[in-house]
Amino acid sequence: MAEPFAVCSMCRKQLHFGDKVWRCSVSTCNSGRVKLVFCTVGCWDAHLPTARHRNAAAIEEIARKDGAPAKR
Ligand SMILES: [Zn+2]
Ligand SMILES: [Zn+2]
């Protein structure tokens, strides 16, 4: 299970299928071409000041093929 899934949107660490990842609850961070994914809640937290969200939550998720950010 070492197939690449994506890289962390903050630190660029490689993520693999089966890894626990974090997503941003804000819809603009999950729509269109830009689907942000983070390796830790700390990386998601570092994203907040750059995105200036008013209400945001980190969503814990397991990286799965059907949830891949690349294509749908
Ligand atoms: Zn990261
Ligand atoms: Zn966000």
- Residues 20-40: tens digit of each pLDDT: 999 999 999 988 777 899 999
The ligand with the least distance to the CA atom of 54 is: 2
Contact 5, 62 (CB under 8 A): no
**What residues have their beta carbon closer than 5 A to ion ligand 1?**
8, 10-11, 13, 39, 43
Ordered DSSP codes for 8-37: -TTT--EEETT-EEEEESSGGGSSTT----
CA of 32 to the centre of ligand 2 (A): 13
Please state the domain extents for the chain: 4-67
**Residue 60 confidence (pLDDT):** 96
Contact 51, 24 (CB under 8 A): yes
CA of 59 to the centre of ligand 2 (A): 11
Quote the CA–CA distance of 7 and 51 in Å, as a whole number: 18
Please state the pTM of the whole predicted model. 0.83
Pairing of strands 14-16, 20-24: unpaired
CA of 72 to the centre of ligand 1 (A): 23
- Length of the chain equals 72
Q: 23: which 2 tokens?
A: 């997503």
